[in-house]
A and B are shown apart, each in its own frame.
Chain A
């Protein structure tokens, strides 16, 4: 490469600033959560962990964590099962059908979430799913499943088609081939798709606003209400907990992915 122009250097500095803009503001909740006074302030004047004590001893927050975990686990489970089956099925149909079906599976990501939310709200009120863990999980699955279908699809596309054929030629049963050849190959896709499905459900706000009711408040809904009504440092503590848990999950998935790649 020849010597780069000033323009290229400038672009890179600007790029670095943009990356900093993407990441640094997110962590503003961390110092705010350690402030001792009862109003939110950055930087904090005196450090304290009282808002974390308040967070972890408040039954409302704990119930919200529990509800969110239940909903996210259920949504992830449903997404993984039907999403993986769908990804396997998509591999076996012709291109036109595959395009149409993929469009159907990704449609919930294109239709505005507010629209899906009010439609689900309307239907679920009628059949009694409104305000239930199952109702929330089914709603979230719409947004979670596409990531399973896509990630497993990529893993499947990377799998050498001669491997399962060879196994079949050697007389292996289809289920045995799935367990010993296909499943190990799609494991990174399952991990990435599953983790992203979990976090998508765990963080979902708009569908939950409409489906939560009073009986099944998720953690983001509890946070949403706190931010809009009370604006106390407990919200910053809750945000920090969510933030740390999410970053850990992200790093875990990157670790699994990098191991899958080698």
Chain B
């Protein structure tokens, strides 16, 4: 119940007596105070523990020796640093496209299942959310190792004579990131498939459309919002990825997050780290502003 509603009700309840009206406004202001008190701890915590450190970081990004904006100029002007940003963006796009392509059939299967099978299939999507990214990435290291099960299977199948180098390269980074981010694409697509009216599919079917035509002209357009939401999530999260590329990638698999870490821990150049962070954040906010037309972030996060 909103405070506005409360005060309106109170006014209706005491239409004549002045004393009643005074009581009502008192009640309304007390309600407003209670609302503020409820929100205050979280707002204070986020201001002190999140907004303030980010503002500090921003001032740090302006404190470069070469002048106010020189850290930004250095990053945007340097071919090496620009390459890292471009590489991160390309990685994010590839991971997003493959994730959505894989997520759609999984979400479709979910929308077809019932009861026990549905529960099992949903657990397959939800359990990975709960399991440590570090453990999941470590599992991939074990699987893709020189003497690991993937290599021994390939050799057993006669695909290769000697173990392939599967780890510390693009392939491993992509596999690991898609594995971690895929659930973020499955859930919104599944939600949009559930909202789809089955009568529309029947109508399309009844009018003689083939399965593929129905999918392309009815199902896909009506679930486009879910696809957009899933893609946005995967894309935004993959832009900031650190652990998985760090463990599964080689020297050349540098992401912006790894670059920022490098600035702080190896080269001790805080202004560059701060500037790189804000450039990354700027890219993310631009994408988010575009995507905000399609999705509500809060709704997507609660399915876990």
A residues within 8 Å of B by Cβ?
1-2, 4-8, 11-12, 14-16, 18-23, 25-29, 32, 40-43, 78, 81-83, 85-86, 88-94, 101-102, 104-116, 118-123, 138-139, 141-142, 145-147, 149-151, 153-154, 161, 164-165, 174, 196, 199, 202-203, 205-206, 210, 220, 223-224, 227-228, 235-236, 239, 242-243, 246-247, 249-250, 254
Which B residue's beta carbon lies closest to that of A20? B124
Which A residue's beta carbon lies closest to that of B301? A150
CB of B143 within 8 A of CB of A203, answer no
CB of A239 within 8 A of CB of B135, answer yes
B4 neighbours in A (Cβ, 8 Å): 94
Contact residue among B109, B135, B139, B147 (Cβ-Cβ distance under 8 Å from A41): B147
CB of B179 within 8 A of CB of A206, answer no
Contact residue among B52, B60, B264, B297 (Cβ-Cβ distance under 8 Å from A110): B297
Q: Which 3 A-B pairs have the closest CB atoms?
A: A15-B109, A5-B211, A112-B240
A220 neighbours in B (Cβ, 8 Å): 132, 134
Q: Chain B's interface: helix, strand, loop or mixed, by majority?
A: helix
Chain B nearest CB from A14 CB (Å) reads 4
Complexed CA–CA distance, A14 and B31 (Å): 54
B198 neighbours in A (Cβ, 8 Å): 1
CB of A118 within 8 A of CB of B277, answer yes
B123 neighbours in A (Cβ, 8 Å): 250, 254
Contacts A/B (CB < 8 Å), 22 sampled: A1-B198, A6-B211, A15-B107, A15-B109, A23-B124, A27-B139, A29-B138, A40-B142, A91-B1, A92-B35, A92-B38, A106-B298, A107-B50, A110-B236, A111-B281, A115-B280, A118-B273, A123-B53, A161-B1, A223-B135, A243-B135, A247-B130
| B102 at the binding interface (Cβ < 8 Å) | yes
CB of A206 within 8 A of CB of B243, answer yes
Contact residue among A86, A94, A235, A250 (Cβ-Cβ distance under 8 Å from B38): A86
Which A residue's beta carbon lies closest to that of B32? A92
Contact residue among A18, A105, A146, A236 (Cβ-Cβ distance under 8 Å from B182): A18
Chain B nearest CB from A261 CB (Å) reads 13
Using known A-B contacts A26-B128, A28-B142, determine if residue A16 contacts B109 with beta carbons closer than 8 Å.
yes
| B294 at the binding interface (Cβ < 8 Å) | no
CB of B304 within 8 A of CB of A114, answer no
Using known A-B contacts A18-B182, A93-B35, A206-B242, determine if residue A114 contacts B108 with beta carbons closer than 8 Å.
no
| B95 at the binding interface (Cβ < 8 Å) | no
Contact with A along B38-70 (1 / 0, CB 8 A): 110111011001101110110010000000000
Contact with A along B293-304 (1 / 0, CB 8 A): 000011001101
Using known A-B contacts A7-B215, A26-B136, A220-B132, determine if residue A19 contacts B109 with beta carbons closer than 8 Å.
yes
Complexed CA–CA distance, A1 and B112 (Å): 12
CB of A1 within 8 A of CB of B107, answer no
A122 neighbours in B (Cβ, 8 Å): 53, 56-57, 60, 270
